[in-house]
Amino acid sequence: MKNFTLYLMVILFTLSLAQGQEKTKNTKADSTKKKIISLKKKTEKMDRFPGLFTFYQDTLNGSLYMEIHKNQINKEYIYFGHAHDGIVDVGFNRGSYRSSKIFSIQKYFNRIEFVAENYGFYFDPDSPLNRASGANISKSIMSSNKIIAEDSLKNRLLIQADDLFLSEKLLQIKNHTPPNSRRFSLGKLNKDKSKYIDLRNYPKNSEIVVQYSYDNPTPKNKGKTGITDARSVSLTIQHSLIKVPNNNYVPRIDDQRIGYFTTRVTDMTSSDHTPYRDLIHRWNLKKKDPGAKISEPEKPIIFWIENTTPYEFRDAVSEGVLAWNKSFEAAGFKNAIQVKVQPDNAGWDAGDIRYNVLRWTSSPSPPFGGYGPSFVNPKTGQILGADIMLEYVYFTNRVKYDKLFSPEAMDMDPYFCEIGNYLHQENLLGFISTEFLKEGEVVKKELIKESIIRLVLHEVGHTLGLNHNFKSSHLHNIEESHNAALTRAVGLTGSVMDYVPVNLSLNPKKQGQYYSTVPGTYDDWAILFGYSSPLENPKDEEKRRNNILALSTDPELMFGNDADDMRSSGKGIDPRVMIGDMTSEPIEYAVQRIKLMDKLTRGLYKKYTDKGVSFHAMRDAFNILTREKSSCASIISRFIGGVYVERFVVGQSETGVPLKPVPRSEQEKAMKTLKDFVFSPEAMFLPDSLVNFLQYQRRGFDFYGKTEDPKIHSLALYTHRVVLNHLLHPRVLQRTIDTQLYGNHYTIEELFGGLTGAVFSADLRGNVNSIRRNLQTEYVNRLINISGKGKNRPSKYDYISQAASFSNLKTIAKMMSKKSGKDKGTKQHREFLYYKIISALE
């Protein structure tokens, strides 16, 4: 009986427990059901923003909610992010364009996923491999958000959007900073401080503007002057969600012979050596009258001049934009580009992606002078919008000292443009030259006007899809470059996408245009390739395309972009692809320019000693002229060890070769020019007593920790190093050796011998001035390192270069052993070099 009672109690307890668990399950289930509440009830007290995606904002705490309609699930959209206002120190500044990508919206049970898609690969639909098109290609789930409400028919779903937009899930803002780095760091994102600044919604796009706040309690670097307090900084990003256009746009495939920005696509079903289907970036221009040779477009490209633009610049800005219509007429379009001015009381913001705006700022630490980005449909390459950012500081007399002597640091990102920085330096040089003219102010105004047109032409070119062309400066010879009638018609250079100097004549009476004011011959050709209307028959269209591209061997259409240029030591191989050069006679042009710099330097004291002003402007002018001579030296040096590059396909050229070493005569001329105008005792010309007046104006305690005296020897050595860095670069020396196998007749032995002669021969029998002593010591140090006899062992140079440097060290030691020279400094210098070499060779 006891056992039965005990058994019964166990059964009753078990049933009770099971019922309790079931009740708990039901309670949880009921609770789950209750969480998916009515969308109408959830949002009834919120502000509603209808558009492509409907948004709701809580009026109490500002939280944002996003409505997803069921017909938006499994569909693709474009995400685009750009900075409204930012922090230059971390690469975010007003107008800077960031990520552009395709994303899809997926539903996974009770969650909504935002998935970034990968369109970098093409699979032929007729190939069996197409069935495996997703293999080993990882998509990215940017965000997964829980559904918190829905309508009664479950057609409209609501998610909490703060986790999507008040985070870096859509766009990475903060980059990794190494623990011991002294770089400026954003710190940690503070979600409580981050907030929505604006929300604009339209049928085809939704714009969410967010101010992100970052905290860093103990910053190592307090940043530039634009940062109020480095412990708490903010930047504003606009997130754009865009409907994918459905407009029958036909993508156009890229070609290596011409320079467009591209969306890279690789054909995974092709057996070609180059299975490239890269899509050029271009606007969707279609003729109103397809049968007409020249027709207005159905929808022109409209640029708005922002109401922040200085009044005195507006006409020149407009002229620069509209000048591109010349190129579009050659491609069959009339009035393809239009210009309007944003009213002062405009009801729209310049950040609205529906408008293409030329915007102006005057920043404390400007990151650019001009910047012309565009954003595209990543699936097709169609340009959907563009802005152009222009900085006022680059049309002033303010010198950006951090840019003045660092051309190699400019523009290493092909999507980021430094033409404004470069143009500013050249304008400052032009302003100096106008000081010596009777009608200097009139000329200065014309120079500024031409420079604005030139800058706008360049940046608009970027927004049309064109990348840089640093080979276009060889269009004219020296005489033609000063023929204003000629250059106003066809351009001063083959392309406005080049970085060219202000065009100054050694003889003011023969001065031509300072800058190009129309697109060049290459620009016309590039627009023809990118925008001319295709033929309906595919075979006819292929023939038409090939006929356009067949012109690439025309010298007027030469092309080379950032990947090809030789601005940095050891970078690139074709000396014609260079910044700062001009004409088809670049060495001769550089020599004339050096002579002009010396001429202007001689007159500095007379022109910059107005009563009541400091000597600051004189010192600025001296530094600018010195920097220009350094640039000329760099341009000349590139011809030594260079290779001319031509891009064409088999059968296009009967006589040309793709790679042709620079002729021996050109290399010898370059070395002799360096010897006479860069390394010679007279090269670093200084008028009597000028240095005594090279004084900066004091501002507060800005001289603290440094001295204000002019560093003449450092400036001279900088120029010499610019040349030596390139000529003695491992790549240049190796290339000089390699090219002897395919047409180079200027040997590595002649290169070292010519350089040794240029550095030592001029004063071998006399005294060596202090600037040359520095040069000779620098050169010997480099030879020791190349030979493998220095501290850096083993040598990173090839064996032949090591042998050549070893031989030249022995030659120099023999020269120095004579210890000739009358002054004590020369004797000490030669004794030092002799000891240095002998010690290294032992």
Specify the pLDDT at position 27. Answer: 45
Contacts of 388 (CB under 8 A, 6+ apart): 303, 357, 358, 359, 370, 371, 372, 456, 459, 460, 463
Nearest to 640 by CA among 754, 716, 555: 754
Question: Is residue 123 scored above 90 in pLDDT?
Answer: yes
pLDDT > 90 in the chain, percent:
76
Residue with tokens 């009986």: 1
pLDDT, mean of residues 123-152: 95
Per-residue pLDDT at 31 exceeds 80 = no
Q: Nearest 5 degrees, angle CA 459-CA 465-CA 467?
A: 70
Computed over every residue of the chain, the mean pLDDT equals 91
Q: Which helix (H) or strand (E) holds 65?
A: strand 64-69
pLDDT attached to residue 649: 94
Residue 424 pLDDT grade (very low, low, confident, very high; cuts 50, 70, 90): confident
pLDDT value of position 484: 97
* pLDDT computed for residue 373 by the predictor: 84
What is the pLDDT, as a whole number, of residue 399? 55
Provide mean pLDDT across the span 498-527: 96
Q: At residue 674, does pLDDT exceed 90?
A: yes
Which residue type is seen at 209? V
Q: What is the C-alpha separation between 165 and 211, in angstroms, rounded?
A: 10
Torsion sign over Cα 565, 568, 572, 578: positive
Label residue 533 by pLDDT band (50, 70, 90): very high
- State the residue for tokens 């919008």: 385
Nearest Cα residue to 156 out of 33, 69, 28: 69
pLDDT of 228 above 90: no
Per-residue pLDDT band at 103 (split at 50, 70, 90): very high
More confident residue, 456 or 685: 456
Beta bridge partners of 452: none
pLDDT-derived band at 142 (thresholds 50, 70, 90) equals very high
To the nearest whole percent, how much of the chain has pLDDT over 70? 91
pLDDT of residue 417: 63
pLDDT of residue 822: 78
Instruction: Assign 407 a pLDDT band (cuts: 50, 70, 90).
Output: very low
Q: Is 248 exposed, middle or buried (0-12, 13-18, 19+ CB in 10 A)?
A: exposed
| Predicted pLDDT of residue 412 | 45
pLDDT in the model for residue 397: 57
Q: What is d(CA 322, CA 316) in angstroms, rounded to the nearest whole number? A: 10
> Which pLDDT value is given to residue 365?
67
Query: Residue holding tokens 């900084």?
Result: 233
Question: Which region among 30-44, 109-123, 320-334 has the lowest average model confidence (pLDDT)?
Answer: 30-44
**β-strands 97-108, 76-85 pairing:** antiparallel
> Is residue 662 a contact partner of residue 644, using CB atoms and an 8 Å limit?
yes
pLDDT of residue 350: 81
Q: Is the pLDDT of residue 404 over 70?
A: no
pLDDT, residue 420, reads 67
Sign of CA dihedral 539, 540, 545, 550: positive
Inform me whether the pLDDT recorded for 403 exceeds 60. Answer: no
Q: How confident is the model at residue 415 (pLDDT cuts 50, 70, 90)?
A: very low
Q: What is the pLDDT of residue 398?
A: 59
Please tell me the predicted confidence (pLDDT) of residue 179.
79
Residue 224 has pLDDT above 90, yes or no: no
User: Residue 175: what pLDDT?
Assistant: 85
pLDDT in tens, 603-615: 999 888 888 999 9
More confident residue, 394 or 731: 731
- pLDDT tens for 324-376 read 999 999 999 999 999 999 999 998 888 889 999 998 888 776 666 567 789 99
**pLDDT surpasses 50 at 413:** no
